Amino acid sequence: MEKASPIGAYRWLRRGRIASQALFFLLFIFLFVKTDYTGSDTIEYAVNILFRIDPLLALATMLAVKTVISLMLPALLVIALSLLAGRSFCGWLCPLGGLLDGWSRLFGSAKPQSATKFSFLPKVVLIVVLVSALFGVPLAGYVDPFSILVRGLSQAVYPGINDVSVTFFTFTYQHLPATVNLITEPLYSFLQHTILPFEQKFYQLGLVSLFVLFIVVIAEHGQKRFFCRNICPLGALLGWFSRMGVLSLAGGNEDCRACRRCAQICRMGAIDEHRTIDVETCVLCMDCFEKCPRQIISFGAEVPISRGVGGGLTRRQFLAATSASLVLPSVLGVRTLNVQADPLLIRPPGSLAEPEFLNRCVRCGQCMQVCITNGLQPVMLRAGIEGMFSPYLVARTGYCEFNCTLCGQVCPTGALQVLDLDAKHRFKIGHAWFDKDRCLPYAKGIECIVCEEHCPTPEKAIKFRNVDIVTEGGNKQQVQQPYVDDALCIGCGICETKCPLPDISAIFVTSAGEHRHPDSRLPTAQEPLGYGS
């Protein structure tokens, strides 16, 4: 490697990095927008590829389930890239990194700072995530950069953009001259078919997801790439592979005048007072490579003396990380024996048994984003602390569409199995029950067949009995009272969604009888229950 590069000879590298970030962020947005119902029963693009190439999610999930997940083997490509060119993924391809750098360029950020005393934290977070996963407590989805980004966008930003757009174009249509509508209506139609979601959606934890993403972004004004430098376990994992990287940057040699320009502009604080570049931290942004006034920053396959690796954790830091990793599973993952789960915790069709489902679910939110009825929502504490942000069906908000299998198609880890339509039609996620104190035919003697009309099963799971009743006025009359056929109900929840009562539905769905748990099978008349049951 030459001592000095000709001025401007490799300036295209920094510009190439900026172009790469922009290109891959646009690709991410394209796939994000396509994670929606577009009139087809299948998703045409590999919209979940971002999560499938994530080495952190792949490693943590495989440790949790103790098996290799073929869906996540593409993560080997990013590991291979790290072995070749260090943490170039973080600087050139990562959509969250691109968002942070773009935000800094548009709105400013804190000046780059040297490494701080908290630089070890990503390694601690990484150890906690991996060891906890090994003990069956999935934490990766809470701190993974892709999960944070997609959750914030899909559950808050994207619905907000759609709501503002609908409000704006509705206003122009209703209040502005027809000549203006000649422009706005075609524009609105174009946006509906290309960018805006199929339906306006609302998520229970949308503000929480937005707050987390907001903190990650706004922290740029406190320290450039704050999340990447102080939290991101994916970056720490890729940094470990970067120790063996072939291509890297190296700092000044004997011709360096110690102007410290390189250290002053480094967004990751990867250059120390001796102009040594830490390859575990360096994201190959190429700022120093271009800005060095003497053009003596080296880039290539050789390993000069001024190319270094970051220090490992101290003994105290390592013990603290491992202790936390051992304590967290017992605190967050405790499940009381012989106590049934919350009956309103209705998982999507194709869900694995609850322990494996939680171990595989990375809280990416893609199943919720693609749900065409908005019925899938992020759960708060109904599934325990370790289940936060995982999906469950809120049937009063939206039902599970009988002919839809999109949620399983977008799941990147197999937490939701891909079901064909025949299997989906037979997959029982719960069971419907009538509240006879509220159901109109029972409580008021008023005819109502709404639930039966909407029941999607070929043979209706909701049926009627003709019953003679005495009205409040003392008159006798016959009324049709609905009941649920246990053998036919699959728990889709459309009856609860469509119930005409204005507040609490008179029919509700619980997880009873769900296929993924044989122990929840409903008793039959041939199986009388008693003390020996």
What is 497-509 written as a DSSP string? HH---SSS-SEEE
| Statement to judge: residues 372 and 466 lie in one domain | yes
184 inside domain:
no
pLDDT of 321: 75
Whose CA is closest to 362, among 9, 69, 35? 69
Q: Is residue 394 part of a domain?
A: yes
What ranges in 118-232 are assigned the alpha helix state H?
A: 121-134, 140-143, 145-152, 158-175, 178-194, 206-218, 226-230
Which residue among 281, 308, 335 closes a domain?
308
Residue pair 289/299 in contact (Cβ under 8 Å)? The answer is yes
Q: Which of 308, 325, 344 is the last residue of a domain?
A: 308
- Residues 50, 111, single domain; the answer is yes
* 483 in a structural domain: yes
Backbone φ and ψ for 248, nearest 5 degrees, come out as: -160, 170
- Confidence check: pLDDT of 426 > 80: yes
Q: Output the furthest CA–CA distance in the chain (Å, rounded).
A: 105
Kindly state whether residue 301 falls inside one of the protein's structural domains: yes
Same domain, 35 and 95: yes
Looking at per-residue confidence, does 494 or 518 come out higher? 494
Is residue 87 situated within a structural domain?
yes
Residues of the chain above pLDDT 90, percent: 67
Q: Length of the chain, please?
A: 533
498 and 360 inside one domain:
yes
Residue 254 has pLDDT above 70, yes or no: no
Q: Express each pLDDT in 115-147 by its tens digit.
A: 677 788 999 999 999 999 998 888 999 999 999
pLDDT of amino acid 272: 79
CA angle 197, 201, 206 (to 5 degrees): 115
pLDDT digits (tens, 9 = 90+) for 11-63: 788 899 999 999 999 999 999 999 999 888 899 888 999 999 999 999 999 99
Residue 446 lies in a domain: yes
| Statement to judge: residues 75 and 138 lie in one domain | yes
> Using CA atoms, how far apart are residues 288 and 4, in angstroms rounded to an integer?
13
Q: pTM of the prediction?
A: 0.89
The answer to whether 67 touches 136, Cβ cutoff 8 Å, is no
The pLDDT score that the predictor gives to residue 311 is 56
Residues 435 and 514 in one domain: yes
Three-state DSSP at 462 gives strand
Residues 377, 296 share a domain: no
Residue 319 lies in a domain: no
Do 402 and 292 have their domain in common? no
Residue 446 contacts by C-beta under 8 Å, 6 or more apart in sequence? 440, 479
Beta-sheet pairing, 431-434 with 277-278: unpaired
pLDDT tens-digit profile of 93-105? 999 999 999 999 9
Please state, in angstroms and rounded to a whole number, the distance separating the CA atoms of residues 411 and 360: 10
Indicate the number of domains in the chain: 2
Q: Which residue range is the domain that position 502 belongs to?
A: 354-520
Q: What is the mean pLDDT of residues 432-438?
A: 96
Assess if residue 422 is contained within a domain. yes
Q: What is the pLDDT of residues 294-353, one digit of tens each?
A: 777 777 775 443 444 445 677 777 777 777 777 776 666 555 444 457 889 999 999 999
pLDDT tens digit string along 512-533?
Answer: 989 887 666 666 554 554 444 4
Residue pair 369/423 in contact (Cβ under 8 Å)? The answer is no
Buried b (16+ CB within 10 A) or exposed e, 508-532: bbbbbbbbbbeebeeeeeeeeeeee
Query: Average pLDDT, stretch 437-450?
Result: 94
C-alpha distances out from residue 121 to 125, 126, 156, 170, 321, Å: 6, 9, 28, 49, 9
Q: Are residues 237 and 302 in the same domain?
A: yes
Q: Which of 308, 323, 343 is the last residue of a domain?
A: 308
Domain identity same for 397 and 291: no
Question: Domain check: are 300 and 368 in the same one?
Answer: no
Give tens-digit pLDDT for 186-215.
999 999 999 999 999 999 999 999 999 999
pLDDT band at 1 (very low <50, low <70, confident <90, very high): very low
One domain, residues 293 and 407? no
